[in-house]
Structure 1
Amino acid sequence: MAAVAASTTLPAGPNHSVVVVGGGPGGYEAALVARRAGADVTVVERHGLGGAAVLTDVVPSKTLIATAEWLTIAESAPELGIRTGGAPVSPGDDQGVRRSLVDLQAVNTRVRALAAAQSADVRGRLEREGVGIVVGEGRLDGPSRVVVTPPDGGDEVTLDADIVLLATGATPRTLPTAAPDGERILSWTQLYHLDELPERLIVVGSGVTGAEFAGAYQALGSDVVLVSSRDRVLPGEDEDAAELLEGVFRSRGMTVMSRSRAAGAERTADGVAVTLTDGRVVEGSHVLIAVGGVPNTEGLGLAEAGIEVSDSGHIQVDRVSRTSVRGVYAAGDCTGVLPLASVAAQQGRVAMAHALGDAVAPLRLGAVAANIFTAPEIATVGYSEEGLRSKGSRYVTTTLPLARNPRAKMHGVHDGFVKLFAHPEAGVVLGGVVVGPRASELIFPVTLAVSHRLTVDDVAEAFTVYPSLSGTIGEAARVLHNSVAPTT
């Protein structure tokens, strides 16, 4: 995050006007904080409350993944002694069997309904708190004024503000040679309108989004080809975790094309053809383009207001979400800090607390927990092993497989591990990785340890339920006790 000019906060109290542009997690969480502080708050949103996180990204994608998870769990049925009525779903089985079990139209109808219901819940909460809502597209007219263009092209609305928060999010990055058409060439926001399961889905991009959808659609019954331009899937994640996941993908029948870059995609008579930069052509029924996002900052009036942006178009902010202009803050994917809904929400809360004079702790990226919703899930917090190595930091580490955990054995879990990093003298927990079912839940005790600078002994001495998957976290801490120099 770039250094930005300091801005004077306003004294707490009523009658301060706050305009929030964008109704996603960064926007609506900021609005709630500001309203409870007594400010007059208006949220400007063009699509629906909750933003892309609720309507087209986090909520729908994780709902789809949760549906696919049932079929992943069913893989363990024979091992657990459960008959599946003659419909095997184990790895290596005919994907046609899986497809016969899935009504994608019903799945996507539920996905869209759940997203709409969550959006309505966000709207209802804001209205109950007394937050004003204006539907339309907002842009800055100087640092203290927002102009809103209604979706029907009617008269513009002008909103003056003491404080402005920009939380406009991001949209899927597309390839000029593979423009999404919503039918065969798809962005991740368009998947929820398919009525039939893709017979052969080509996923271009092996980052978090690509890996999540590749795993979900493979579980649902699609034949999946994952095109990765790097040596492995999830190139930015823990190496051991990424290698384990790629092995699981391959064992389940997914084709992973490493060191392969897509040059373009085009429709064919009954599907798509994806051309790689080396001239190879991969054919399928559909292709998903998952190559990152682009910040929604164009046409926002940033340059005219004097707000600094990066070369990538992201709004530059500091650790309390200030931009380079006094009274203007920004939160979420439009800032490029971390593309996580939880980070966007925290940025928004921190911004309003700072702007309205409340006590505030600057954002600590080192304490942010993140999760990849594959099967198995991959959760991380704190320093990564690559980060520690690149900085030349001294650390001790241990990795324990989940396969020897008694609760994992009961559930037929074979893939996964717990890895902890600690300071070799002080014993402070520096970070951790959890790979396994519900890793998003299991990472929480490690997050507490990192956030509060607990030692491995602090973690080791805390009780864990027997049997439980979290018991492996306690065991990993006990193993590290012998690797940490005793203090005198």
Structure 2
Amino acid sequence: MAFDYDLFVIGGGSGGVRAARLAASEAGARVGLAEEYRMGGTCVIRGCVPKKLMVFASGFAHAMQDARAYGWDVNAGGFDWTAFRGKLDAELTRLEGIYRTNLEKAGVEIFDTRATVADAHTVRLADGTEKTARHILVAVGGRPFVPDFPGSEHVITSNEVFRFDALPKRILIVGGGYIACEFACILNGLGVEVTQYYRGAQILRGFDEEARGHIAGAMQDQGIDLRLGCNVQRIDRVEDGLWVKSTDGHDAVYDQVLYATGRVPNTDGLGLEHAGVRLRDSGAVEVDGYSQTSVPSIYAVGDVTDRINLTPVAIREGAAFVETVFKGNPTRADHALVPGAVFTRPEFGTVGLTEEEAAARGPAEIYATAFRPMQSGFAGRSDRVLMKLVVCAETRKVLGCHIVADHAGEMIQLAGIAIKMGATKEDFDRTVAVHPTMAEELVTLKAPVRTVG
């Protein structure tokens, strides 16, 4: 059978774009790609990139306070959201154009429309046109989840934060994951009065327990009203905003209510089940180690598979797919020891096992220190950073590293290399410290603070 394409990609996010471009430019494949919204996907348009730019913007109020402590005569005016948003929109448009240009240069045919799966080798565009392909790659990502409750129609999600006409004066953020915590810190830094509800006992579930507590304390010290064990019962629109009835009796009115209570795969109405593709209960596409679905000609990468929902992981999965399918080099994306960062204030960088995970596996030594860094101390701030290593008591390998500090994301990228290579605690000890830095503590931790497992 003659196909219209060797590969048809549904979704123009990081994973889909990387796979399409590599298949066309390096393997000479005939490639089509359909994207119903904007090229670049969640990360570029409504995720990592605009969020990080907002992180930068939110940090200047603290920086100017420090500058005065260091002798600079500076006076900050108010934050101009309209000016910032204009530049933000322009930057996202520029990045979207780069994604599109790179695809076109590689020879990928782009369809700016929704596409669904008709069968194992056919996709159907929104206008009813059908295209056939030897292989189909599903890379449609995920979307924010909002539970159904009285008044849920009044809330916004992370998708809408970047489109504010004006910053709210008072916002309630519901959720305890990294997205909720990041936006709580960002908006707090921009001068918004922030309240955060989380129904659990501590924010950032799944991360290292000690680090979670450290970050929660820092957020509260900055003025974020973090209310644990608390949830929303109902929301009503009133004259001066949104009235929220809470489970802890802390009823109040807010200008906006942002829900960041998880994300779900974008598989609704995609035709996958009709084509024979198995989905998990969550709606995620079920794949094997090579990103192949239960239908041999259909593959899936990125957040739609709900493996590790990070942009660099989706990119690696897209590249591994091309190696496997188009270059004859079966390649599994490596999901072990993936570093990550949470852009709270201060940042949280993490790689490998948490203390709790290590304890469940066997004896482990915990090396940790918390201290006030030089820059904060001189400025009179009470901020404290956390440096922590989790070490296997038997092999001496460093199993995990957790850093809560300014620029922790930059630090964990480099620590991740050493840990991925199998560095031992003694390898860290043999490394000469860079002084004076915060990160030097990682190589000067001499005695364990406790043994677990």
Q: Give yes or no for TM over 0.5.
A: yes
Tell me which residue corresponds to 2:260: 290
Matched, 1:375 2:364: no
Tell me which residue corresponds to 2:29: 39
Matched, 1:424 2:393: yes
Q: Distance in 2 between matches of 1:451 and 1:358?
A: 27
Tell me which residue corresponds to 2:96: 119
Matched, 1:56 2:39: no
How far does the alpha carbon of each residue in 1:171-213 deviate from its partner, in whole angstroms, 9 at most, with x for none? 11123236676xx732111122223221111111121111011
Q: Distance in 1 between matches of 2:138 and 2:320?
A: 13
How far does the alpha carbon of each residue in 1:130-183 deviate from its partner, in whole angstroms, 9 at most, with x for none? 22211111111111111111xxxxx433221122110111111123236676xx
Tell me which residue corresponds to 2:146: 174
When residues 137 and 359 of structure 1 are mapped into structure 2, their CA distance, relative to the original with a 3 A threshold, is: same
Matched, 1:241 2:211: yes
Q: Secondary structure at the match of 2:66?
A: coil
Length-normalised TM-score, structure 2: 0.92
Contact 1:64 1:108 in 2 (8 A): no
Tell me which residue corresponds to 2:229: 259
Tell me which residue corresponds to 2:412: 443
Q: Secondary structure at the match of 1:123?
A: helix
Which letter does structure 2 place at the counterpart of 1:114? E
How far does the alpha carbon of each residue in 1:83-132 deviate from its partner, in whole angstroms, 9 at most, with x for none? 333x5xxxxxxxxxxxx511111222222222221111111111112222
When residues 345 and 290 of structure 1 are mapped into structure 2, their CA distance, relative to the original with a 3 A threshold, is: same
Q: Distance in 2 between matches of 1:20 and 1:42?
A: 6
How far does the alpha carbon of each residue in 1:47-88 deviate from its partner, in whole angstroms, 9 at most, with x for none? 111012211122112211211022233342343233333x5x
Which letter does structure 2 place at the counterpart of 1:141? A
When residues 287 and 122 of structure 1 are mapped into structure 2, their CA distance, relative to the original with a 3 A threshold, is: same
Which letter does structure 1 place at the counterpart of 2:146? T
| Aligned CA-pair RMSD | 2.4
Contact 1:166 1:331 in 2 (8 A): yes
Q: Secondary structure at the match of 2:69?
A: coil
Tell me which residue corresponds to 2:11: 22
Contact 2:79 2:190 in 1 (8 A): yes
Q: Distance in 2 between matches of 1:109 and 1:141?
A: 40
Q: Distance in 1 between matches of 2:369 and 2:247?
A: 40
Matched, 1:322 2:269: no
Contact 2:431 2:443 in 1 (8 A): yes
Q: Which runs of 5+ in 2 are unaligned?
A: none
Give the Å deviation of 1:378: 0.6
Matches within 5 A, 1:122-133: 122-133=99-110
Matches within 5 A, 1:82-161: 82-85=72-75, 101-149=78-126, 155-161=127-133
Which letter does structure 2 place at the counterpart of 1:60? P
Contact 1:33 1:349 in 2 (8 A): yes
Q: Distance in 2 between matches of 1:411 and 1:131?
A: 53
Matched, 1:397 2:358: no
Q: Secondary structure at the match of 2:158?
A: coil
When residues 163 and 440 of structure 1 are mapped into structure 2, their CA distance, relative to the original with a 3 A threshold, is: same
Which letter does structure 1 place at the counterpart of 2:441? T
Tell me which residue corresponds to 1:434: 403
Contact 1:202 1:286 in 2 (8 A): yes
Matched, 1:73 2:60: no
Q: Distance in 1 between matches of 2:215 and 2:384?
A: 9
When residues 53 and 145 of structure 1 are mapped into structure 2, their CA distance, relative to the original with a 3 A threshold, is: same
Tell me which residue corresponds to 1:7: none
Contact 1:175 1:264 in 2 (8 A): no
Question: Which residue among 178, 189, 196 is the counterpart of 1:219?
Answer: 189
Q: Which runs of 5+ in 1 are unaligned?
A: 1-14, 88-99, 150-154, 484-488
Tell me which residue corresponds to 1:93: none
Tell me which residue corresponds to 1:388: 358
Length-normalised TM-score, structure 1: 0.85
Contact 1:53 1:341 in 2 (8 A): yes
Q: Distance in 2 between matches of 1:111 and 1:180?
A: 28
Matched, 1:363 2:333: yes
Which letter does structure 1 place at the counterpart of 2:255? S
Which letter does structure 1 place at the counterpart of 2:411? L
Tell me which residue corresponds to 1:458: 427
**Range moving further from structure 2, 217-226 or 62-71:** 62-71
Q: Secondary structure at the match of 1:177?
A: coil
When residues 422 and 363 of structure 1 are mapped into structure 2, their CA distance, relative to the original with a 3 A threshold, is: farther
Which letter does structure 2 place at the counterpart of 1:461? R
- Total equivalences in the alignment: 446
Question: Which residue among 238, 263, 282 is the counterpart of 1:268?
Answer: 238
Contact 2:323 2:331 in 1 (8 A): no
When residues 31 and 101 of structure 1 are mapped into structure 2, their CA distance, relative to the original with a 3 A threshold, is: same
Tell me which residue corresponds to 1:3: none
Q: Secondary structure at the match of 1:305?
A: coil
Contact 1:366 1:383 in 2 (8 A): no
**Range moving further from structure 2, 324-333 or 466-475:** 466-475
